[in-house]
Structure 1
């Protein structure tokens, strides 16, 4: 099964390179080219097999959402010259991820179920069930680890440690709530509920910009709106469109990223099933049929589109 596991280009004018969990980033003076590979991570671990079309799905959904939010929050994008590539400003990233939650799901539910009633300094009421809507959306930041696990952190700790200045942090909170409101509206138009998501921000020429991807299945969790209330009333699992199904498969097979645990075998059937779920989210979210780009000469295609666009795109 063909997929883009990694890239190893050397471009004229390139000033640096960074390989993240799922993206390869090439730096050029005041801009960068981000390649969405087909790698997949869970519990902060890159899984051994890449997922066909995953990078294309993420890049194209992110592109749509960045365009749909550019009127309310400035973002880093200059162009999207390839299904797997985005070119934009080289921002200095803040070392926190702004997680916002409208429902008690995923990590927040696991913490709540374990008895915690405060998450990242935010108090949670008693009596909540998994996937309940929260009284109001809460911001639960995490540290942004270059390696290993991101960790929960409170607003107070961020300011006390000087990770982000108070002025900038107030901007990050305001932008986070604005983006979540817009993302909720966009999801509703497609019969979805935006459950939780994360945003990353950086600075360029003294201005705060939204960076990276937004509202994708890697960064967000969605429920189907139809039947949500009935399932919740009956205590049934919600129909999800997110990467949570990958985490659940790993948990069921004894892996949560802890020391000594082994990633279960990813058979062709497992890989194909994950690929199909990503394509499903694309089609539900966009209302359009997903067009599978060919993997023939895919690296040459990506290299050409970066070379043709990295310096021609205007600020």
Structure 2
């Protein structure tokens, strides 16, 4: 079996029974179950949700997205072996810890396969919540050019690149294009302030002003839980992205939950502690791949400059990367996942066949 066979690159063509279009993002595909299948599974599996809650099957791919483009490698390698399983395993680990420590639940109800979640439909809060503990990346680039205010928060002068910040910083941005909010440009991924959120909480899909405090509390507590656990492994949790949504529980009560993925090397920067103490940055996250891309192409500005998106898309489409670049990333993902979960990661030889079999035989979702 070739390396390429182990990669689940296309995840929106599974024969899962659905009466709605399959929603495919950069990495995950979502199959909304029929009302009959949702009700049947809730009853059969005893999921703790309302009897009529809409459910979905979420299938993670091994595709690799960086700088808003999908990248491929030599030898028909259309993704990174083990990437999907690693991201799911890490998220599962943190979500379980959040629940055990009384923070909040997640949208995941069941894990039929390392690459699959069964989730409850959530109504998402339209904010990408970025939490930062160190100054690096885009924030450092802006700071080094003299910016001192980030999302309405003043940062002191005199900080060095990759230094720990005086306190945990929440720098939210918009998720999707939001229209008609005073002072917020109508574009995806625009930085916003807490005041923007407070003044227009309903536009960001918060149910009440009080839920903004809850969201910030869950953000910071979630960050601190992951940071403390990673510190035990001598890993530094640098920054991350959280997403939230509302679900209805079995009693019909709405509650704010964590959704999407959490604390993964795809949505976070994770640094090796020993290397950092010795003045070096060793990335145990996707950031290492981003840096490799910037070094690989002669004109890195194409990858950094949003005005050159057409060129960037052509670059990703027309260049297959050396296999070694994708395998380096595979080792990073699998390595950090195994550190976090404390055991060997289960990686499929043929993920698509396995997923179809389990969803047909144990869940009755494939005819």
TM-score by length of 2: 0.77
Cα distance 1:108–1:306, how it changes in 2: closer, same or farther (>3 A)?
farther
Cα distance 1:120–1:46, how it changes in 2: closer, same or farther (>3 A)?
farther
TM-superposition CA deviations, 1:241-290 (whole Å, max 9, x none): 11111111222222236323323541222222221221222233233333
How far the C-alpha of 1:181 sits from its partner, in A, is 1.1
State yes or no: 1:158 paired with 2:197.
Answer: yes
Cα distance 1:4–1:139, how it changes in 2: closer, same or farther (>3 A)?
same
Whether the 8 Å CA contact 1:73–1:179 is kept in 2: the answer is no
State yes or no: 1:300 paired with 2:348.
Answer: no
State yes or no: 1:212 paired with 2:260.
Answer: yes
TM-superposition CA deviations, 1:160-211 (whole Å, max 9, x none): 3432442332221111011011111111121111111111111112211111
Aligned residue in 1 for 2:284: 241
State yes or no: 1:108 paired with 2:161.
Answer: no
Query: After the TM superposition, which residues 121-160 of structure 1 pair with which residues of structure 2 at under 5 Å, given as runs?
Result: 121-145=152-176, 150-160=189-199
**Aligned with 1:4 (options 3, 8, 17):** 8
TM-superposition CA deviations, 1:140-159 (whole Å, max 9, x none): 1121138x952322222233
How far the C-alpha of 1:227 sits from its partner, in A, is 4.5
Distance 2:19 2:268 in 1: 32
How far the C-alpha of 1:90 sits from its partner, in A, is 0.8
State yes or no: 1:46 paired with 2:67.
Answer: no
Aligned residue in 1 for 2:184: none
Whether the 8 Å CA contact 2:85–2:345 is kept in 1: the answer is no
Query: After the TM superposition, which residues 1-315 of structure 1 pair with which residues of structure 2 at under 5 Å, given as runs?
Result: 1-2=3-4, 3-7=7-11, 8-28=13-33, 29=35, 30-48=54-72, 49-71=78-100, 72-145=103-176, 150-161=189-200, 162-165=203-206, 166-205=209-248, 206-231=254-279, 237-252=280-295, 253=297, 254=300, 255-256=303-304, 258=306, 259=308, 260-261=311-312, 262-263=315-316, 265-295=320-350, 298-307=351-360
How far the C-alpha of 1:239 sits from its partner, in A, is 1.9
TM-superposition CA deviations, 1:210-256 (whole Å, max 9, x none): 1111111001111222253341xxxxx32221111111122222223
Distance 2:94 2:244 in 1: 15
User: Which has more radius of gyration?
Assistant: 2
> How many residues were matched structurally?
304
Q: Which is worse superposed, 103-112 or 172-181?
A: 103-112
Whether the 8 Å CA contact 2:71–2:320 is kept in 1: the answer is no
How far the C-alpha of 1:128 sits from its partner, in A, is 0.8
How far the C-alpha of 1:310 sits from its partner, in A, is 5.6
Distance 1:229 1:194 in 2: 14
TM-score by length of 1: 0.88
Q: Which is worse superposed, 169-178 or 279-288?
A: 279-288
